[in-house]
Amino acid sequence: MSDTPEKGNGAAVHKRRPRYSGTHPTRFEQKYKELNPEKYADTVAHVIQKGSTPAGMHIPICVKEILEFLDIQPGQKGLDATLGYGGHTLEMLKRLEGKGHICALDVDPIESAKTKERLARLGYGPELLTVIHTNFANIDQVAAEQGPFQFVLADLGVSSMQIDNPERGFSYKADGPLDLRLNPEKGATAAERLREVDEEELRGMLVENSDEPYAKEIARAVMTEFRRGGRIDTTGELKQVIERALSFLPVSEQKEAVKKSCQRTFQALRIDVNSEFEVLYEFLEKLPEALVPGGRAAILTFHSGEDRMVKRSFKELCRAGVYRSVSTDVIRPSAEECARNSRARSTKLRWAVKA
C-alpha cells in the first residue's frame, strides 16, 4: 500500500515534506521550522543562540544604541525608512506605548507584506503603524503626507530573508537566479546587467562599488565567457567564472580569495542593479526637510561607500547649520553582539540632530 492517503470523499491529501539527507536541513526551503518562528520558537531560539540567523528572519542590529540616541517618547511620530523584517520597527513601536505613530517604508513588496501582517498580529495595526511600499528616496513625498517626523531610522543593509533565499539571487552560497533586485517586480536583473555592460564598465563597477582588487581579472573572465557563447544566468555560474578568473593565484590562497571576491562582486552588482548610491544620495538630501526642528536621524551602514556618503552629508549639513549636531565618531555594535550575530560585524551607526 502507498504511504500517501488517496483522495476520496472530499478528504484532503496528506503531503509529506521533502526528505533531506543528514540530520539537519541545509537548503533554504527545507528549513520549515526556522521559516515558521511563531510555531517553532524553540528551534529559532536555538539557532540564534548558536550565533546564526534563522532562515526567513532578520536580527536587528544596534537596537540598544539606536533607541538610546532616538530617545523615543510616547505620542511621537517617526519613520523607519527601511522596514525589512520589522525588528527595529517593533522596538520603536514599543517605546511609543500605544501613543503616536510610525510610518515604515520598504521597496520589497514580498517581505514588506509579510512584515506588515506579522506586526499586525502583535497588535500594531494601522492606528499605530502605516506600511508604505516605496523607495526611501521618496522620503519627501512621505513626509508631505505623513510627517514631519520626530525621529527617522534607515538601516541600509540587505535583510537576511533576502540574502538567504536562493530565489532572490543575493548570495553565491546557494545556486539560484542571478537577480539581486530589492524589488523583483521592477528593473533589470543582475544577469541582464552583465549582458549590457562592456569590460571597462564592469571593471569600474567592481572597483567603485566594492573595491574589488581583482576587478580586471573578473571583468575579463565574464566577457570571455560571453564571447564563448556561454551564459551567466545563475549565482552558481557567476561563482564559477570568478573561480576561473582567480585560478592564477596559489592554490593555498584560492579558496579564501574566491570567497571574498564573490562577496564583493555580488555587492557591486546589487548596488548597481538597485542604484543604491543614487538612492542614498537623494535620501540624504531630502532627510532634513522630513524632520521637525530637533528631530533625530540614525543611519546604519554596512560598507565603506555608504558610510563615506553619510559621513560627508552629515558634516556638510552641520557646517551649513542644517543639523545642530552630528556624530563625530562612528558607533559600532559591541563585541557581544557581533558574537551573537556575525552579520553585525561590518555595521557602522551615525546620527544627526536637526537644528
Instruction: Write out the three cell numbers for 274.
Output: 538597485
Q: What percent of the chain has pLDDT above 70?
A: 83
| pLDDT of 19 | 57
List of domains in the chain? 130-329 (1.10.150.170)
In angstroms, what CA-CA distances link 288 with 42, 76, 144, 293, 295? 43, 17, 13, 9, 9
Per the prediction, the chain carries an average pLDDT of 86
Contacts for 228 with CB less than 8 Å, ≥ 6 apart = none
Cα 179 to the chain's mean position, in Å?
Answer: 14
Task: Assign 37 a pLDDT band (cuts: 50, 70, 90).
Answer: low
Tens-place pLDDT, residues 75-131: 999 999 999 888 999 999 999 999 999 999 999 888 888 899 999 999 999 999 999
Instruction: Write out the three cell numbers for 191.
Output: 544577469
pLDDT above 80 (res 164): no
| pLDDT of 78 | 97
pLDDT above 70 (res 7): no
Task: Assign 35 a pLDDT band (cuts: 50, 70, 90).
Answer: low
Residue whose grid cell is 525608512 = 81
Higher pLDDT, 59 or 274: 274
Task: Assign 147 a pLDDT band (cuts: 50, 70, 90).
Answer: confident
Tens-place pLDDT, residues 177-221: 999 998 988 899 999 999 999 999 999 999 999 999 999 999 999
Task: Assign 66 a pLDDT band (cuts: 50, 70, 90).
Answer: very high
| pLDDT of 91 | 95
**Cβ–Cβ contacts within 10 Å for residue 41, how many?**
11
| pLDDT of 28 | 53
Contacts for 97 with CB less than 8 Å, ≥ 6 apart = 74
